[in-house]
Amino acid sequence: MTWLVNWLDSQQRFMSSTFQNGVVAMVKSGAMGTFRLAGLGMLTVAAVSCGQKAGDQSQLKIYGGKKTTSGEWLSTVAITGANGRMFCSGTAINPRLVITAAHCVQGSDNPNSLRVYTGDGTEGGAVSPQYKTVKFAYSPKYGRNPGGWNDIAYLVLDHDLNLPANAYVPVLTDETEIKELLKAGVTSHIVGFGNRDGGGFGVKYEADAPITTVNDIEVGIGNNGKDSCQGDSGGPAYGQLKSGEWRVYGIVSRGGACGLGGIWGLMHANICWVEKDSGVKLGLPAGFCDKDAPTPPTDETPEIDPSSVPGEEPVTAPTPSI
């Protein structure tokens, strides 16, 4: 069952560290004879919902990050269950709409089970979510596609977020700005509520990490201990232009062992679908959605560093169901 322990280190980054530790312990102790991988998503959310406690955290980590100053990166939000337990991160694009990862919401059939929290977070990830969801959907293109997974979803809220107008960072859509920000070696600013180095979960942290690979659908970010981790799924990657202005462009999708880099979906690849399907006007540039959708290349898909799982090729999770 060594393969399962290795797989757990490389699954999509929304799995509860508490649950993950429990499965690893069962596997290593021999208490687990068989395990249905297709059930991991449901079990994961059950673990988050049934009592993840501060201090009972995995040693899977986000390395190289620091706690955000109170009031910073207000557009980075947490996705919780109705009971206030965090399980993913997200980005508020405007006062009524939040973007997160498809794998965070896939399988949910009731908008009322998805809530949004704004704030600095709390250790252990138990908060009082302030906003209910009235509509949500994930991309119909979501899946293990050769050119990219289209791992994106949106949540429409029951009332406007209580955030200042300057909290919302524009989505990266301009072609000139895309060329400036999305290339290997450029620094990306990643923010989320997930697991971090030294243990802990549920507090908003930030880190600067380099872009490693880019295609039309996805971008690889992080290495050398700077990365996202479980609980950061759906959270943003920001970039700062030479002008000093910020743009948001990334959605945490998946990765290998935390600290070795991962894959973010690109918002602009699916933002027109979000606007059309949600019915929420996002203030996109005139004519942007009249363009042909980007065609993902077949030979430039970002890959996870094979060293992320020692001795094996990295493995990504089966599509989770929650």
Q: Looking at the predicted structure, is the pLDDT value of residue 315 above 60?
A: no
Read off the tokens for 266. 């690109």
**pLDDT band, residue 177 (cuts 50/70/90):** very high
Read off the tokens for 45. 């959310």
Q: List the single range of 128-142, 243-257, 294-308 with lowest mean pLDDT.
A: 294-308
Residue 63 pLDDT? 52
69 versus 31: which is more confidently predicted? 69
Mean pLDDT of 180-204: 92
Q: List the single range of 53-67, 138-152, 238-252 with lowest mean pLDDT.
A: 53-67
Torsion angles phi and psi, residue 24, rounded to 5: -60, -45
Residue 64 pLDDT? 60
* Cβ-Cβ contacts under 8 Å for 210 (sequence gap 6 or more): 184, 185, 186, 187, 188, 221, 222, 223, 226
Q: Looking at the predicted structure, is the pLDDT value of residue 73 above 80?
A: yes
Q: Are 151 and 102 in contact (CB under 8 A)?
A: yes
**pLDDT band, residue 13 (cuts 50/70/90):** low
Residue 10 pLDDT? 39
196 versus 296: which is more confidently predicted? 196
Residue 45 pLDDT? 34
Give the residue ranges of DSSP H helices in 40-174: 40-49, 102-105
> Quick one: CA dihedral 280, 284, 286, 290, positive or negative?
negative
Residue 2 pLDDT? 40
Mean pLDDT of 59-78: 76
Residue 93 pLDDT? 97
Widest Cα–Cα separation across the chain: 59
Read off the tokens for 128. 């009082």
Per-domain residue ranges of the chain? 2-49
**pLDDT band, residue 66 (cuts 50/70/90):** confident
> pLDDT tens for residues 95-114?
999 999 999 999 899 999 99
Q: Looking at the predicted structure, is the pLDDT value of residue 82 above 70?
A: yes
Mean pLDDT of 126-141: 96
Q: Looking at the predicted structure, is the pLDDT value of residue 240 above 90?
A: yes
Q: Are 320 and 106 in contact (CB under 8 A)?
A: yes
Length of the chain in terms of residues written: 322
Mean pLDDT of 257-262: 91
Helix or strand or coil: residue 210?
strand
State the pairing for strand pair 218-221/205-214: antiparallel
Q: Looking at the predicted structure, is the pLDDT value of residue 175 above 80?
A: yes
Q: Are 41 and 106 in contact (CB under 8 A)?
A: yes
Q: Looking at the predicted structure, is the pLDDT value of residue 41 above 70?
A: no
Average pLDDT, the chain: 78
Q: Looking at the predicted structure, is the pLDDT value of residue 251 above 60?
A: yes
Read off the tokens for 302. 């970002």
Residue 72 pLDDT? 92
